[in-house]
Chains A and B, each alone.
Chain A
């Protein structure tokens, strides 16, 4: 048996934990840069506001209904997510953290063992729900079923149908058949809009219809073995177990960091500062998982919706690092700035930039030595100029950098290139925020991760 625990409108719930006055009121959380609605309370869903709706379109409706609007506060959501996952992990043998607000549970063998002590698996599911709510303040729903796909489906129904009391356990074939009938094919995990249209055209409307198709049909029309597995999972035959997840068991194959700027930028130094900041973050993640990267990509984009902007809207440049793989921010940055120089079109307005690190591998696992590079134990360069051109990795320096930022907060020690360009005081006033940083007008305090933001009771 598998379980799926999913937090109800997670970002909104996080905001409500520390500001209970928003309980029962309509609340939305906006995406980065305050662009779109990414989390809606039940009251907002009742107003008919769709997931991902652009904020400017629903602004009036929200205002007339006295809704609270928050900018996204990922420091808070990340830390609350860790608390929720910690609670869940204490109750079951294994979990897979599937996203910031969802975790799969491995419940194999627990059907029998639980019976004398804790009752059925749905009792365990209720225990997990109450425990998470009591210890973190986050409301959740739980689906339990023989496969991950069915657990996901059960979770969906537990959320939609209030009679179920937030938990659905699909233990018998009858219950599974009933549940499959309740769900449209487009809402099945792994069926996107394209496949849904194709399936509806073939007369397959519900998950129950999909569970009835033959193996050969699924192979032919639903992307080969992936589709066949999906159908088998719906029939109750498990085809996939828990995967390594963000709880430290997952090693990413590639790391990227990108942002849309708070306002369009035309200055090279501003965009370079943004790229340097994203690169620092990506390199920090790279070092955290103990890898080094071989391939670096930098991209910049223009606003394709603005008038008089000509294609190409987005340009990117990729480089296989000539001096060999590294996790050193300074080395990576020297390459990134030359890549940015290649992409840069003077007189253009940019609104987004990003970096991607690929070809990740742990150090000293048989890397290809470069034909032209010096052996690693070469003598120290004689002067500073030479050191700069040699692009030497300095793991000790990076370790100190990470340790300082870990202890005193992110961004305590930065590369000078990543610092915001000082604005001309007459033009922009005394704003110390970097020009590329997104808008976040209504961000709540980081209650759980900054001492200054600690909740006070007077």
Chain B
């Protein structure tokens, strides 16, 4: 799973990454991708390291 911006350019649809290290992905076959959901909220960590520590405990 990945988070990308869905963009339409001149009739073709693209998945645009925010990370410049990744390339945009052109959606040619709609069966190949499925949109799982829309990002509506982002959690911010106010005490640095707390969330990371919590997530580390899962393994």
Contacts and interface: CB of A to CB of B under 8 A. Distances in A.
Interface of A: 20, 23, 137, 445, 451-453, 455-458
A230 B39 CA distance: 48
Contact of B36 (A20, A451, A453): A20
A453 B55 CA distance: 8
Contacts of A445: 58
Interface of B: 1-3, 34, 36, 54-55, 57-58
Contacts, number: 18
Nearest to A456: B55
A453 B58 contact: yes
Nearest to A135: B37
A452 B36 contact: no
Contact of A451 (B1, B2, B34, B54): B54
A452 B55 CA distance: 6
Given A20-B34, A20-B36, A457 B3 contact: yes
Interface of A is mostly: loop
Contacts of A456: 55
A452 B54 contact: yes
Contacts of A452: 54-55, 57-58
Contacts of B3: 457
Contact of A457 (B2, B34, B58): B2
Nearest to B1: A457
A453 B57 CA distance: 10
A456 B59 CA distance: 13
Given A20-B36, A452-B57, A455-B1, 7 more contacts: A20-B1, A452-B54, A452-B55, A452-B58, A456-B55, A457-B2, A458-B2
17 contacts: A20-B1, A20-B34, A20-B36, A23-B34, A137-B36, A445-B58, A451-B54, A452-B54, A452-B55, A452-B57, A452-B58, A453-B58, A455-B1, A456-B55, A457-B1, A457-B2, A457-B3
Nearest to B3: A457
Contacts of B58: 445, 452-453
Nearest to A17: B36
A280 B49 CA distance: 36
B32 to A, nearest CB: 12
A195 to B, nearest CB: 44
Contacts of B34: 20, 23
Contacts of A455: 1
Nearest to B37: A137
Q: 6 tightest CB-CB pairs across the interface, nearest first?
A: A452-B58, A457-B1, A457-B3, A457-B2, A452-B57, A20-B34
Contacts of A457: 1-3
Nearest to A454: B55
A322 B35 CA distance: 60
A445 B58 CA distance: 10
A19 to B, nearest CB: 9
Nearest to B39: A457
A68 B3 CA distance: 26
A266 B35 CA distance: 52
Contacts of B1: 20, 455, 457
A321 to B, nearest CB: 42
A455 B34 CA distance: 17
B2 to A, nearest CB: 6
A455 B37 CA distance: 13
B19 to A, nearest CB: 11
B6 to A, nearest CB: 15
B42 to A, nearest CB: 11
B1 to A, nearest CB: 5
Contacts of A458: 2
Contacts of A451: 54
B17 to A, nearest CB: 12
A23 B31 CA distance: 12
A457 B37 CA distance: 12
B20 to A, nearest CB: 17
A342 to B, nearest CB: 43
B36 to A, nearest CB: 7
A456 to B, nearest CB: 7
B56 to A, nearest CB: 10
Nearest to B51: A451
B31 to A, nearest CB: 10
Nearest to A23: B34
B11 to A, nearest CB: 25
Contacts of A137: 36
A452 B2 CA distance: 19
Contacts of B55: 452, 456
Contacts of B2: 457-458
A193 to B, nearest CB: 41
A13 to B, nearest CB: 14
A451 B36 CA distance: 20
